[in-house]
């Protein structure tokens, strides 16, 4: 098959692109490199630097494409609170631009990387796809709006659309920006360097961590699965882990005793978030294969940044 991946030089996009070319597919990747790095792409991936809102550029890239993965986005929840205009412009505007270009190019299917963050605070856990949504941050709102846009323009333009609500993905080569870094690489770095680790809130809030390779498999399955048009599907591990338990697991693996500082002033986000993954099992024949401990061990094995920090 012929694929276009927007955000194809990012953490999930590059892993997906490399897996698809290994499986014999033809892959184009579009990325503006605001966060991604095209050096991590297999040489067989055809890379173009550009903005996902550039419709004429998309027309060229979409020629002959069967299926689009839409991953290009600004991805930090706390950053979205500071820059909502930017998050709306890229995450919502980029989705509308892409859907417009796809309509013109006659592409068959789009798979959106949506987010479990869109649920917001939910009393019933694990959360099902039909929960009433309570997005509380600009990032969460932008992902929910993107879902509505892919499904609405998809239905109007005869494009099959699927949204995967990915929970907290983690794995090797995850971006580690100086501020607003995702928790797993941030905690690993602190544990390996022997410094203190800062936990926002009281450490009791929990998240559902899903390993990169499992996410890539779910995305791959979504390209060919039947009867998933207009579906919204949770992609998580199905198990939630508190921040304290996460540090315990890292410490057990590294045989460290990392000092924890609790920043009670900082927002810890929603108190609990765990995915009901029965729909993914049913529609994609997908279940996660990698436990948190195995996933963390694979990061230490495969990510040179942490090997250097450990040595």
Ligand X SMILES: NC(=O)c1ccc[n+]([C@@H]2O[C@H](COP(=O)([O-])OP(=O)(O)OC[C@H]3O[C@@H](n4cnc5c(N)ncnc54)[C@H](O)[C@@H]3O)[C@@H](O)[C@H]2O)c1
Among the listed ranges 8-16, 244-252, 259-267, 272-280, the one in contact with ligand X (CB under 6 A) is 8-16
Residue matched to tokens 């600009």: 138
Beta-bridged to residue 175, according to DSSP, are: none
In the complex, least distance from residue 272 CB atom to ligand X, rounded to whole angstroms: 17
Q: Is 86 in the site for ligand X (CB under 6 A)?
A: no
| Active-site annotation holds for 139 | yes
Q: Is 147 in the site for ligand X (CB under 6 A)?
A: no
Site mask, ligand X, residues 106-125, x = CB under 6 A? -------x-x----------
Site mask, ligand X, residues 41-70, x = CB under 6 A? ----------xx------------------
Query: CA 199 to CA 207: how far, in whole Å?
Result: 13
Candidates 77, 90, 159, 299; binder of ligand X (CB under 6 A) is 90
Q: Which of 139, 149, 170, 211 is catalytic?
A: 139
Candidates 34, 33, 25, 23; CA nearest to 4 is 25
Candidates 2, 125, 175, 267; binder of ligand X (CB under 6 A) is 175
Q: Is 75 in the site for ligand X (CB under 6 A)?
A: yes
> Is the Cβ of residue 183 or residue 262 nearer to ligand X in the bound state?
183
Among the listed ranges 31-39, 97-105, 124-132, 289-297, the one in contact with ligand X (CB under 6 A) is 31-39
Query: CA 147 to CA 99: how far, in whole Å?
Result: 11
Q: Is 5 in the site for ligand X (CB under 6 A)?
A: no
Q: Give residues with Cβ within 8 angstroms of 85, minimum separation 6.
A: none
Reported residue count of the chain is: 311
Q: Is 185 in the site for ligand X (CB under 6 A)?
A: no
Query: CA 34 to CA 127: how far, in whole Å?
Result: 32
Q: What kind and span of H or E run contains 244?
A: helix 243-254
In the complex, least distance from residue 74 CB atom to ligand X, rounded to whole angstroms: 6
Candidates 54, 36, 255; CA nearest to 16 is 36
- DSSP string for 179-195: SS--HHHHHHHHHHHT-
Among the listed ranges 55-63, 161-169, 217-225, 284-292, the one in contact with ligand X (CB under 6 A) is 161-169
Q: Is 7 in the site for ligand X (CB under 6 A)?
A: yes
- Do 286 and 217 contact (CB within 8 A), yes or no? yes
Q: Is 12 in the site for ligand X (CB under 6 A)?
A: yes
Candidates 29, 45, 68, 72; binder of ligand X (CB under 6 A) is 72
- Pure H helices in 51-205: 55-62, 77-82, 84-87, 94-105, 138-157, 183-193
Q: Is 20 in the site for ligand X (CB under 6 A)?
A: no
191-229 per-residue burial string, b: 16 or more CB within 10 A, e: under 16: bbeeeebebbbebebbbbbbbbbbbbbbbbbbbebeebe
In the complex, least distance from residue 128 CB atom to ligand X, rounded to whole angstroms: 17
Q: Is 172 in the site for ligand X (CB under 6 A)?
A: no
Give the number of residues in contact with ligand X, rule: CB under 6 A. 28
The CA distances from residue 247 to 170, 184, 262, 294, 305, in Å, are 15, 9, 12, 15, 19
Q: Give residues with Cβ within 8 angstroms of 281, minimum separation 6.
A: 287
Candidates 10, 138, 185, 288; binder of ligand X (CB under 6 A) is 10
User: Which residues are the active-site residues?
Assistant: 139
Q: Which residues bind ligand X (CB under 6 A)?
A: 7, 9-13, 30-36, 51-52, 71-75, 90, 94, 113, 115, 166, 168-169, 175
């Amino acid at each position: 098959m012929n694929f276009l991946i927007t955000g194809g030089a990012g953490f999930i996009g590059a892993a997906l692109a490399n897996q698809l070319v290994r499986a014999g597919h033809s892959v184009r990747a579009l990325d503006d490199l605001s966060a991604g790095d095209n050096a991590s792409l297999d040489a067989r991936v055809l890379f173009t630097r550009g903005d996902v809102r550039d419709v004429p550029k998309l027309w060229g890239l979409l020629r002959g494409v069967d299926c689009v993965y839409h991953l290009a986005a600004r991805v930090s929840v706390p950053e979205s609170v500071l820059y909502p205009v930017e998050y709306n412009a890229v995450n919502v505007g980029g989705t509308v631009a892409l859907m417009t270009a796809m309509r013109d190019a006659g592409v068959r299917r789009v798979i959106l990387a949506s987010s479990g963050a869109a649920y917001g605070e939910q009393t019933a856990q694990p959360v099902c796809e039909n929960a009433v949504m309570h997005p509380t941050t600009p990032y969460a709102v932008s992902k929910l709006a993107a879902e509505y846009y892919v499904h609405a323009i998809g239905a109007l333009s005869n494009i099959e659309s699927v949204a995967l609500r990915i929970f907290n993905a983690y794995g090797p080569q995850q971006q580690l920006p100086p501020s607003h870094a995702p928790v797993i690489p941030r905690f690993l770095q602190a544990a390996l360097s022997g410094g203190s680790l800062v936990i926002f809130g009281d450490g009791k809030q929990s998240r559902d961590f899903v390993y990169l390779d499992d996410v890539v498999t779910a995305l791959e399955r979504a390209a060919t699965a039947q009867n998933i048009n207009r579906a919204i599907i949770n992609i998580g591990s199905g198990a939630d882990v508190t921040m304290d338990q996460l540090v315990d697991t890292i410490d057990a693996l590294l045989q460290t005793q990392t000092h924890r500082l609790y920043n009670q002033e900082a927002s810890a986000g929603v108190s609990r978030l765990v995915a009901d993954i029965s729909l993914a099992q049913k529609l994609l024949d997908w279940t996660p294969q990698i436990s948190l401990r195995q996933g963390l061990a694979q990061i230490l094995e495969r990510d040179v940044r942490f090997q250097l920090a450990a040595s």
